[in-house]
Amino acid sequence: MGQAPTSEVVSANMPKGATKLSREQLTNYVHNNFKQSALPLEKENLYQLDGLIISFWDLSVNPEFKKSLQASQSEMLAVLKRNSENTINYSKIITVNNIQYLVYQYQKNDEVFLRFQSEFNKNNKNICGLIQFKKPDEDKAQKALQTFLESVHFKE
């Protein structure tokens, strides 16, 4: 059984075999395995699974700043395109367990970043996350994302 992450917004399970990392362990792992990281170190849901780093965090917004997933999608693509080192692999909106997610993947050289963000719940909260991995681990990362999203349910 994967370790249950902490969230005020959702109940979820990490994929089987994922181990929780402290900030220090994450820093060391990234330093030894990657050229860079896009992971927010101040978050507590940081996990490692067979070459993947998996993280997600709660987000709450003021209702007047709430954006649709489509608006977030155009914004993120515009930001990513500003850096010529980024290769955008895809960006799509999917539905898992009646929750919509914006999922997009981009890479810099052989390091890949698979990002996701859920739609907002009725309390204007959502989750965002990131799986960072090397290009050869792409299938594992896609499976881990699918397994994770299938376990996610908004708390009431």
pLDDT surpassing 70 at residue 155: yes
- Locate the domains of the chain by residue range: 10-154
State pLDDT tens for residues 27-70: 999 999 999 888 877 788 999 999 999 999 999 989 888 999 99
Gyration radius from the chain CA atoms: 15
Which of 10, 19, 12 has its CA nearest to residue 49? 19
State pLDDT tens for residues 75-117: 999 999 999 999 999 999 999 999 999 999 999 988 999 999 9
Q: Could you tell me whether strands 10-11 and 153-154 are parallel, antiparallel, or unpaired per DSSP bridges? A: antiparallel
pTM, two decimal places? 0.93
pLDDT surpassing 80 at residue 3: no
Q: Residue 51 gets which letter from DSSP?
A: T
Q: Return all residues near 84 (Cβ < 8 A) that are at least 6 apart.
A: none
- Contact in structure between 8 and 58 (CB atoms under 8 Å): yes
- Please give the average per-residue pLDDT across 5-11, as a whole number: 93
Q: Return all residues near 72 (Cβ < 8 A) that are at least 6 apart.
A: 102, 117
Residue range 10-154 forms a domain whose CATH class is alpha beta
